[in-house]
Amino acid sequence: MEEAEMLPADRFSDAERAALYRAIFTRRDTRGEFLPDPVADELLARLLVAAHHAPSVGFMQPWSFLVVRDAAVKRRVHDAFRAADAEAALMFPEDRQGLYRSLKLQGILDAPVNLCVTCDRDRAGPVVLGRTHMPEMDLYSTVCAVQNLWLAARAEGLGVGWVSIFRPDALRAALGIPETIVPVAYLCIGHVSGLRPGPELEAKGWRQRLKLAELVRLDGWDGPAPDGDLRAALDA
């Protein structure tokens, strides 16, 4: 079989490269900023195409996408969130529970589109190239699809919020997901009134961004921290 012609590996233009980094650095987890305006089917399709072009180990493509627009279905999902949210609040120390309860952690009823991204762990068969020794690579691949969609949404001017405070079985029941399918991400998607300049949890003092230079080591876990130009660039 003849090899397909290779695509050129030239760099993006400065403007294209800047746009990519802008999408990365200004992506936000959206909660209370959703507008009621509907998301056009053509726009939603572009996001799903971007997600479907994510990398997947062994080209297994384990994801499926459940688009939720029906108000009754959203209410079932919201009920599942509320039950888990009440449990979660009590898991934190008492001095953090008030701050936790003050945070808006979902936009399920506000966002015009909800999207559940799932992983079918059996889709590619019992033996998958690249997954023979790390079986969780199908889950990691599904998260790549989520990131693709999120960055595409940012480029389109849409907000996305990831809701993860669910008991998986309760989310399965709300959406009729088979027991063998893993719900990986529940996303709220829509037009927004604006985006925060930085992560909300950072602004409200829940947690601060870690210093990148302290998370990088050379040639092994116990290797030295970077120095010289690399250290300076990481600290910038």
How do the pLDDT tens digits run along the chain, 236 residues long? 567 789 888 999 999 999 999 999 999 999 889 999 999 999 999 999 999 999 999 999 999 999 999 999 999 999 999 999 999 999 999 999 999 999 999 999 999 999 999 999 999 999 999 999 999 999 999 999 999 999 999 999 999 999 999 999 999 999 999 999 999 999 999 999 999 999 999 999 999 999 999 999 999 999 999 999 999 999 98
Task: Judge if 189 and 227 occupy the same domain.
Answer: no
Task: Judge if 72 and 132 occupy the same domain.
Answer: yes
Are 182 and 139 in contact, with CB atoms under 8 Å apart?
Answer: yes
What is the DSSP secondary structure assignment for residue 192, as one 8-state letter? Answer: B
Q: How far apart are CA 152 and CA 202, in angstroms?
A: 24
Determine, yes or no, domain membership for 225.
yes
Q: Which domain holds residue 166?
A: 29-205
Task: Judge if 190 and 213 occupy the same domain.
Answer: no
Q: Which of 39, 36, 70 is nearest to 158 (CA)?
A: 39
Q: What is the CATH number of the domain that holds 164?
A: 3.40.109.10
pLDDT at 95: 95
Q: Which of 6, 58, 29, 40 is nearest to 156 (CA)?
A: 40
